């Protein structure tokens, strides 16, 4: 979602209320339902939408689907079509998460909401028709940041085992010192260093001390033991270099990582790639998700 001006100014225009599920376009072949699941301790319930291919039998893999929006914008309406398409194409139960947003709810609120939903999904796998041994997290932009932070958190503190973290044009580093980020300015389409600085400031709020790696995964010193990773990077995105560096570090740490750099794309693949390229990228994203979550073993 392109932002003109500051993120703070965009809060009033880019934060429409969540629409009733029945008002959103229905994807043929996919059922969708909405409910609220228990949130973290002393926090409100979390709104989720659950998508499942109609006619599917047996326990399907489950994917937590996290929307983007610089930690402060967007809602689950914005990934309604993506989540439904992923459920159908990847033959999975897809759970879109309406996590809390900064600045009203700074770190770690959004991450804790995502962890609560993932834990709930694993505990209620039978009623979801899901296989708790085949769980994945997926997100774009800030959603990918949350997915990566969630993978680190689960590795360190315990929780449901993940088969895959599927990360598209993620923001990994609040220090904003990579060459691609430093080279960006207000003329850079979609995203730039000024917006990134504001995004991190609003997300982190008054978090004391050094930025936690669960908030900014590039700060993690040890990447061993993380799940299989698909990392999709846009060549014209200021976030490009931090994502490429993270992917290299994952590989060096022994993590099975697949990294694809699309040189002509901008942040979030909003442009200027052709419609044919956009379709190719979307198909690859879904195909890698499907392959990873349906693979019998991921050694």
181/161 Cα distance (integer angstroms): 33
In a domain, 155, yes or no: yes
Number of domains in the chain: 1
| 32 domain residue, yes or no | no
Phi, psi of 67 (to 5 degrees): -75, 160
pLDDT at 42: 94
Q: How far apart are CA 289 and CA 282, in angstroms?
A: 11
Residue 25 lies in a domain: no
Q: Is residue 241 part of a domain?
A: yes
Q: Residues near 223 by Cβ (< 8 Å), separated by ≥ 6?
A: 246, 249, 250, 252, 253, 255
175 lies in which domain range?
7-14+46-294
Which residues are marked as active site? 141, 237, 267
Q: Does residue 239 belong to any structural domain of this protein?
A: yes
Neighbours of 25 (CB within 10 A): 8
pTM above 0.85? Answer: yes
In a domain, 41, yes or no: no
Kindly state whether residue 37 falls inside one of the protein's structural domains.
no
Confidence of residue 209 (pLDDT cuts 50, 70, 90): confident
Nearest of 110, 102, 209, 201 to residue 153 by alpha carbon: 110
- Residue 24 domain-assigned? no
When pLDDT is cut at 50, 70 and 90, the band that residue 113 belongs to is very high
pLDDT at 272: 64
Q: What CATH number is associated with residue 199?
A: 3.40.50.1820
pLDDT at residue 273, rounded to an integer: 67
Please write the tens of the pLDDT for every residue from 242-272: 999 999 999 999 999 999 999 988 898 876 6
Question: What is the residue-wise DSSP string for 105-168?
Answer: S-TTHHHHHHHHHHHHHHHTHHHHTEEEEEEEEEEETHHHHHHHHHHHHHHHH--SPEEEEEEE
């Amino acid at each position: 979602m392109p932002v003109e001006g500051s993120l703070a100014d965009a809060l009033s225009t880019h934060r429409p209320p969540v629409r009733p599920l029945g008002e959103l376009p229905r994807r043929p072949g996919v059922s969708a339902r909405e409910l609220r699941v228990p949130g973290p301790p002393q926090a409100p319930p979390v709104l989720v939408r659950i998508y499942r291919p109609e006619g599917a039998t047996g326990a399907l893999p489950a994917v937590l689907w996290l929307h983007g929006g610089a930690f402060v914008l967007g809602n689950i309406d914005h990934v309604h079509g993506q989540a439904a398409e992923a459920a159908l194409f990847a033959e999975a139960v897809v759970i879109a998460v309406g996590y809390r947003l900064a600045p009203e709810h700074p770190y770690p609120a959004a991450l804790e909401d995502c962890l609560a939903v993932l834990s709930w999904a694993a505990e209620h796998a039978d009623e979801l028709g899901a296989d708790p041994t085949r769980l994945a997290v997926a997100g774009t932009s800030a959603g990918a940041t949350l997915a990566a932070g969630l993978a680190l958190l689960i590795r360190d503190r315990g929780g449901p085992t993940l088969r895959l973290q599927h990360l598209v044009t993620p923001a990994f580093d609040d220090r904003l010192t990579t060459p691609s980020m430093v080279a960006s300015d207000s003329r850079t389409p979609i995203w730039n260093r000024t917006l990134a600085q504001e995004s991190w400031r609003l997300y982190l709020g008054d978090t004391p001390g050094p930025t936690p790696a669960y908030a900014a995964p590039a700060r993690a010193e040890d990447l061993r033991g993380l799940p299989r990773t698909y990392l999709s990077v846009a060549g014209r995105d200021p976030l490009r270099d931090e994502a490429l560096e993270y992917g290299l570090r994952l590989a060096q740490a022994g993590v099975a990582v697949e990294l694809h750099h699309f040189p002509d794309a901008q942040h979030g693949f909003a442009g200027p790639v052709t419609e044919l390229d956009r379709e190719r990228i979307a198909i690859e994203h879904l195909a890698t998700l499907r392959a990873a979550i349906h693979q019998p073993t991921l050694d």
